[in-house]
């Protein structure tokens, strides 16, 4: 559901950016106020896990579309909503900057649609009341499915609303919504089932990792062994399982293709949009989770296109992207946590 810059105008991007960043600052304040250093390592490895898991697009049977998990409900169930939003925001920022997944101008929209709506809205409204404190596996599973479904549907609606408010494309709001909502119902259900499976497993074998099962003080320390296991699974997902991701267009691309014949959206040129595009081209060293192609070396445009496609789709490029992205997310989250840890210690002296 990563929006591209072609769908949004500068004013809409600016407003959504202010809202998303403001909530990010509030989330950092909440984490700092909780004074829990122990959550930082878990944030790092779970961020790497979600980054890798988002690379595993799964086919939606009978539609010609695919989807991937957002991960907001899973992160919230393990870290709490505030830490989950910071973690998921780190994933989305890294994806936009280094992998050109989602537009740089549209980053505020993507933070809101995938991060805020899942972690700060769907989780407290749907998951927590239904899952309860240490509820049964059935309640936990039902809560996960409904919360993921709610988060995806709200996100799908916001994508269409932001596109309509931007007014830079010819996509009709009604038709766009008609395709976006149903396909994301299917994606939401599949993410919910996957999330439920992970959480039920955690509830059985490591219940202390679930936010609802942690002590009131929130100071439970996660063992290094558990952190290494999660990090290992993340590396496996990003380095190997990502080879088998569906090549079908995701729900957003599929919806656009149903309206626009060639699937390409033309939008009004803007100075800010062009600037964001130039910045992203310079920072994205693994665009589309594959090797970037440099100078053409005398190749024709058609040969360059074929070479670029071959390199981008190679297993090596995918593995490098999955592992590199996971490591960068882990380091970014750890750096954020380190800054807060030093501040907390300074205040305690």
CA distances from 343 to 23, 24, 329, 348 (A): 20, 18, 22, 9
In CATH, what number is assigned to the domain containing residue 163?
Answer: 1.10.1760.20
Q: Per the domain annotation, does 79 fall within a domain?
A: yes
| Global confidence as pTM | 0.90
Share of the chain above pLDDT 70, in %: 86
Average the pLDDT over 290-298 and give the result: 56
DSSP string over 260-307: STTSPPP----HHHHHHHHHHHHH-SSGGGSPPP---TT--HHHHHHH
Q: Per the domain annotation, does 177 fall within a domain?
A: yes
Domain that holds residue 39: 5-266+286-348
Per-residue pLDDT of 149-196, as tens digits, reads 999 999 999 999 999 999 998 899 999 999 999 999 999 999 999 999
Q: Per the domain annotation, does 164 fall within a domain?
A: yes
Among 149-158, 257-266, 279-288, which is the least confidently predicted range?
A: 257-266
Q: Per the domain annotation, does 275 fall within a domain?
A: no
Contact 7, 169 (CB under 8 A): yes
Per-residue pLDDT of 25-73, as tens digits, reads 999 999 888 877 778 899 999 999 999 999 999 999 999 999 999 999 9
- Report the distance separating Cα 255 and Cα 244, nearest Å: 23
pLDDT at 217 over 50: no
Nearest-5° Cα angle at 334, 75 to 44: 30
- Backbone φ, ψ for residue 333 (5° rounding): -65, -40
Q: Per the domain annotation, does 312 fall within a domain?
A: yes
What is the count of structural domains for the chain?
A: 1
Q: Per the domain annotation, does 273 fall within a domain?
A: no
């Amino acid at each position: 559901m990563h929006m591209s810059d072609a769908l949004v105008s500068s004013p809409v991007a600016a407003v959504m950016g202010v809202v998303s960043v403001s909530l990010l600052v509030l989330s950092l304040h909440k984490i700092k106020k909780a004074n829990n250093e122990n959550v930082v390592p878990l944030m790092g490895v779970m961020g790497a896990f979600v980054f890798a898991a988002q690379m595993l697009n799964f086919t939606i049977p009978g539609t010609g579309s695919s989807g991937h998990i957002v991960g907001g409900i899973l992160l919230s169930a393990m870290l709490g909503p505030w830490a989950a939003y910071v973690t998921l925001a780190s994933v989305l920022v890294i994806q936009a900057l280094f992998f050109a997944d989602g537009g740089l101008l549209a980053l505020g929209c993507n933070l809101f649609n995938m991060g805020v709506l899942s972690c700060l809205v769907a989780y407290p409204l749907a998951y927590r009341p239904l899952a309860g404190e240490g509820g049964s596996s059935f309640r936990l599973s039902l809560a996960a499915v409904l919360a993921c479904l709610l988060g995806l549907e709200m996100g799908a609606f916001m994508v269409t609303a932001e596109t309509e408010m931007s007014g830079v494309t010819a996509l009709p709001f009604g038709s766009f919504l008609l395709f976006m909502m149903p396909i994301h119902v299917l994606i939401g259900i599949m993410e919910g089932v996957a999330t439920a499976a992970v959480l039920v497993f955690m509830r059985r074998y490591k219940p202390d990792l679930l936010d609802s099962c942690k002590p009131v003080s929130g100071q439970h320390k996660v063992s290094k062994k558990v952190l290494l296991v999660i990090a290992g699974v993340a590396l496996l997902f990003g380095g190997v399982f990502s080879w088998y991701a569906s090549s079908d267009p995701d729900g957003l691309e599929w919806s656009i293709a149903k309206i626009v014949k060639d699937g390409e959206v033309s939008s009004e040129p803007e100075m800010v949009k062009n600037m964001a595009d130039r910045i992203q081209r310079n920072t994205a060293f693994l665009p589309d989770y594959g090797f970037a192609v440099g100078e053409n070396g005398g190749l024709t445009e058609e040969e360059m296109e074929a070479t670029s496609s071959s390199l981008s789709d190679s297993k090596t490029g995918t593995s490098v992207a999955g592992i590199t992205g996971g490591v960068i997310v882990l380091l970014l989250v750890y750096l954020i946590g380190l800054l807060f840890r030093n501040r907390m210690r300074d205040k305690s002296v």
